[in-house]
Amino acid sequence: MNNIIDGVTASLELKKNIKKEIEKDGLTPSLAVIMVGDNKASKIYVRNKKKACEMVGINFTEINLPETISEELIINEIRRLNEDDLVNGILVQLPLPSGFDEGKIINEISPLKDVDGLTYQNVGNLVLENECLVSCTPMGVMELLKMYNVPLKGKDVCIVGRSNLVGKPLIQLLLQQDATVSICHSKSVNIKDYTKRADVLIVAAGHPNLITKDMVKDGVVVIDVGINKENDSLCGDVDFKEVSKKASLITPVPGGVGPMTVASLLKNVVKAYRVQNR
């Protein structure tokens, strides 16, 4: 199928460009990741981030903290990294074990080092169209649309899912490209009325095979951000097999948006380094 958006190849291209930039300009960016507890999925994500950093020449430090640690000690660790001039990016691997106040902990990260783009300051600056660090998955979605020359100006773009991590930042990024944006969520009535009209459909609902082929128009561009486990295999929020028959472009799961999230993190670390070393 020639309508597949290949996130693996796109992310490799992005990493290659980041590596070139780091080598050409003699940059020494570094990322510190704080991992609390023993979540297996989180460990895999951290390992992937480490591998990607090593690939492009970003120094990587992993700080493992026990699940029994106090919130105060996690915050002390973040403050120490904020003060360390050799650390350019700080990331707290989510989700944190239950009992921790994620918002409070994340907002201890200096906005200049918040490479996940989750602090209130970065989120506010995104809305106001000021320079900021942007959440990595929405950034990865926008990179893919750009790399595949998908026009957004004046186009109807429908987002399904209103999470702080994906849906809400995407609204702002798409508006900056002059798209006409609608957003659907679990309380929306007749989602199909919106999805069927969309020139570009971005789905991040966390609901396997939510979008079926009768919910999209011919020629739609579909970006599937969902990652769901079904019968020991991964699937997205879109019925890929059927919807791909109508889509002009579509991302697979896995191999679509996921690789671009990590590549976008690397881009953010380099951006943070440059801002801190102006």
Active site residues: 49, 93, 116
**For residues 142 and 10, is the Cβ–Cβ distance under 8 A?**
no
> How is the beta sheet containing 221-224 ordered, strand by strand?
180-184, 156-160, 200-203, 221-224, 249-250
**For residues 61 and 31, is the Cβ–Cβ distance under 8 A?**
yes
Beta bridge partners of 64: 35
Measured in whole angstroms, the distance separating CA 169 from the mean position of its chain's CA atoms is: 10
Cis peptide before 111 (omega within 30 of 0): no
The length of the chain in residues reads: 278
Question: Alpha carbon of 132 to those of 29, 90, 128: distances in Å?
Answer: 17, 15, 10
**DSSP state letter for 277:** T
